[in-house]
Amino acid sequence: MGRLIDTSIFIEAERERLDLQRFIAANSTDTFFMSVITVSELLHGVHRASAKYKQKRSIKVETWIREFTLIDIDEVVAREHARLYSGLKVAGQSVGVNDQWLAASCFAHDLTLVTANVNEFKRVSGLCVETWT
């Protein structure tokens, strides 16, 4: 089974409210991925961090980027995003732009999304979601 880890899970781990390594070890037969969208969101946090925390955050984020297989935005993901975005608009639903890309990545690569932000993703019909919080 493949799992795409959402930014919210990394934030929970960084704040020491979730033991990311424990969850991964408990599911050692699975493959874990990080989206380039999550890379951008985490690096955005590094750039905004105060001088006191910037280096520590940067080291943690760069470690995660090296540890996880990255999922790019390619044509297959873009096509899933267009389908998803269109369907949400027709249904009058709203999901954050970055979260739409994460959901599209899951559909394109047949992945389960691991998130602490279940309320945002429950509006995406057919998306397999689990939370570790």
- pLDDT value at position 60? 95
DSSP letter string, the chain:
-EEEEPHHHHHHHHTTSS-HHHHHHHTTTSEEEEEHHHHHHHHHHHHHS-HHHHHHHHHHHHHHHHHSEEEP--HHHHHHHHHHHHHHHHTT----HHHHHHHHHHHHHT-EEE-S-HHHHTTSTT--EE---
pLDDT digits (tens, 9 = 90+) for 65-79: 999 999 999 999 999
List the CATH number of the domain containing 7.
3.40.50.1010
pTM of the prediction?
0.93
- Domain extent, residue 107, equals 2-130
Q: In the chain, how many domains are there?
A: 1
| Regions of the chain short of the pLDDT cut 50 | none
- Mean residue pLDDT across the chain: 95
